[in-house]
Structure 1
Amino acid sequence: MKIVRMEAYVLQDPGPSKEHWVSHFKVPHANEILVKLFTDDGIEGFGLATSYTSNEPMVKVLKDGLAELVIGEDPLAPEQVYHKVFSLTWKRLAAEKAWTREALVRLSAAIDIACWDIIGKATRFPLFRLLGGWRSDVPYYVTCAYYQEGKGLPELRDEMHQLLEQGHTRFKAKVGGLSLEEDIERLETIREVIGFERDMMVDVNRAWDLRTATRAVRLMEPLRPRWLEEPLRWTDDRHETTRLAQRTHIPITGGESEMTVEGCRAFIDERAISVLQFDVTMMGGVSGGRKLSALCELNHVDVAPHHDAFIHAHIVAGSPAGLIVESFPDPSRDPLQAELFENPPVMRDGQLFLNEDPGLGLTLSERAIDKFGTRIV
């Protein structure tokens, strides 16, 4: 089997939407690259590349000849295809064309996911079964409590009541954008609404220094968070995360901000985290995700990937280390989760039930591509 054609689209939200801020930056509502691969056997697959920075570097790579390097490759050999694209990060061709390292890392992930989608369709198995088939449904949580203009404690309380009415059972709240005392008050408000029988996770998005984080975990302990995510600033986060983990019983998580599989490995090696949150649409693809899942299993670390629940559910369901996936039920925060697929997995009573269709088990919505997509190649 050979790849004979590639298509790629920028996926962005064209309409106005209320801003969603975390501790120190605004998250995009839709900012992904869709890659579609077509084979000489008539099988096609797709992958996504996610970025919180501009998509323009990836657009440049795609317009400037990346497809020519992939056409003719065997999608049933995803390790070979991935290596060919990723290895451009240290080759002269990338320098000559001014292709950035981040763009190549992201696109190698999307192409790898598309290859695995093709593998599943060629073998007629859903991806989670090819990855081990540990289970066919996985828990999910919703990310909420973003900072927004005009949103105080009453509005936060209303948001949490609305999520409960929608049937959600686990919640991850954003902190780090206000004083520690104000953020603790926000967490107390959430606990008051959801009770202690439901999970509450806390996400700092790398906003605190070690001294603030040490104070925070002491103040949070009575609120019993399931985990504390990316608490430390990027400059020395691995070392400081290890030190923080030694000072609290609250599990520490991280990994979504890493650029490589090897970066995530270092987090595990340093005993810094209890839960790894890599994102296969940002680095590594399915090939990298399955390696990290195996490494987590052998090191007694749980897997709870970042973003794109319908893709990451296969990684989580395939491995005994798989813990949970992240979900964004508010279309104003993530319209792609709401509209990109014709057959999204059923989400009910806190569980996501994977489709048994082959590959990723997802059918792209042409209407959504017309709405959000701009064709690149």
Structure 2
Amino acid sequence: YVATGYAGCKFKVGGAQPAIDAERVRTARRAAGDDFVLMVDANQGYSRAQAVDFGRRVAGLGLRWFEEPCRWTNDRRWMRDVRLQTGIPVCAGQSETTLAGVRDLMVDAAIDVSNFDASWSGGPTIWRKAAGLAAAFGVELGHHEEPQVAAHLLASVPDATFVECFDEDRDPFFWKLTTNRSPIVDGRYAVPTGAGFGIELDWDYVKAHTVDQRTTGS
């Protein structure tokens, strides 16, 4: 990731014991250096106690945020506890499908960063409304995946963090579906210009990967 030009990397925790996951973070920090941005994502895999344990083990390693640290059953209360007891910023919001849901994360002081997803929560209009709430609560903004959408949204607000994207093996569409994808240079991605999201499809690539095409009679 460093060689590719990314500003940082977010990787999975929560699938092993906190001590094992913490050692993986230490290994990543040694490999990437102090200036490389590191985040971790538990995908709601830890209990409250495990999340706090992990957070304390990685204290001092400069994690930018700890994403969805706790299981969904009591996640708002538990995420607030993780924030307060570890000092690591907590990111969540992608699992919320309504403006009211992401609002409650802020009201309950559960998050430092919102990664509310416009693609399954009502589109850019609702995302922008969530951004307004975030500004009122002092919450920073990210976006769950979909860099072709996220780049435009995050560029429109002052408290944005990072555009999230994957390597080509994980997300070939981002890299190959368009003809005008901006390069990632020194951790930055230029927002495409043009109508809508500024995307120009590579129709040869679309046709090569079409599995079904149906027409209707007139």
* Counterpart mapping for 1:143-222 below 5 A: 163-222=1-60
Q: Looking at CA atoms only, which structure, 1 or 2, has the larger radius of gyration?
A: 1
- Do the aligned partners of residues 180 and 291 (structure 1) sit closer, same or farther apart at CA in structure 2, a change above 3 Å counting? same
- Alignment match of 1:297 (pick from 126, 135, 160): 135
In structure 2, distance between residues paired with 1:356 and 1:334? 22
In structure 2, distance between residues paired with 1:295 and 1:376? 43
Q: Is 1:321 paired with 2:185?
A: no
- Do the aligned partners of residues 376 and 324 (structure 1) sit closer, same or farther apart at CA in structure 2, a change above 3 Å counting? farther
- Alignment match of 2:124 (pick from 280, 283, 286): 286
Count of aligned residue pairs for this structure pair: 214
Deviating beyond 6 angstroms after TM superposition, the runs of 4 or more aligned structure 1 residues are: none
Between the two structures, name the one with larger relative contact order (CA 8 Å, sep ≥ 6). 1
Determine if contact 2:26/2:58 at 8 Å carries over to the other structure. Answer: no
- Do the aligned partners of residues 376 and 308 (structure 1) sit closer, same or farther apart at CA in structure 2, a change above 3 Å counting? farther
Aligned partner of 2:202: which letter? S
Residue 213 of structure 1: how far off its partner (Å): 0.8
Q: Give the TM-score, by structure 2 length.
A: 0.93
Runs of 5+ unmatched residues, structure 1: 1-162
* Counterpart mapping for 1:227-376 below 5 A: 227-328=65-166, 330-373=167-210, 374-375=212-213
Determine if contact 1:278/1:306 at 8 Å carries over to the other structure. Answer: yes
SS in 2 for 1:326: coil
Determine if contact 1:294/1:319 at 8 Å carries over to the other structure. Answer: no
- Do the aligned partners of residues 177 and 326 (structure 1) sit closer, same or farther apart at CA in structure 2, a change above 3 Å counting? same
Aligned partner of 1:260: which letter? T
Aligned partner of 2:187: which letter? G
Measured against aligned partners, the alpha-carbon deviations of 1:123-157 in whole angstroms (never above 9, x if no partner) come to xxxxxxxxxxxxxxxxxxxxxxxxxxxxxxxxxxx
In structure 1, distance between residues paired with 2:101 and 2:214? 30
Runs of 5+ unmatched residues, structure 2: none
In structure 1, distance between residues paired with 2:60 and 2:9? 17
Determine if contact 2:6/2:188 at 8 Å carries over to the other structure. Answer: no
Residue 376 of structure 1: how far off its partner (Å): 7.0
Q: Give the TM-score, by structure 1 length.
A: 0.55
Larger strand percent: 1
- Do the aligned partners of residues 232 and 353 (structure 1) sit closer, same or farther apart at CA in structure 2, a change above 3 Å counting? same
Determine if contact 1:214/1:244 at 8 Å carries over to the other structure. Answer: yes
Measured against aligned partners, the alpha-carbon deviations of 1:96-140 in whole angstroms (never above 9, x if no partner) come to xxxxxxxxxxxxxxxxxxxxxxxxxxxxxxxxxxxxxxxxxxxxx
SS in 2 for 1:202: strand
Q: CA RMSD in A?
A: 1.5
Determine if contact 2:7/2:188 at 8 Å carries over to the other structure. Answer: no
In structure 2, distance between residues paired with 1:239 and 1:371? 48
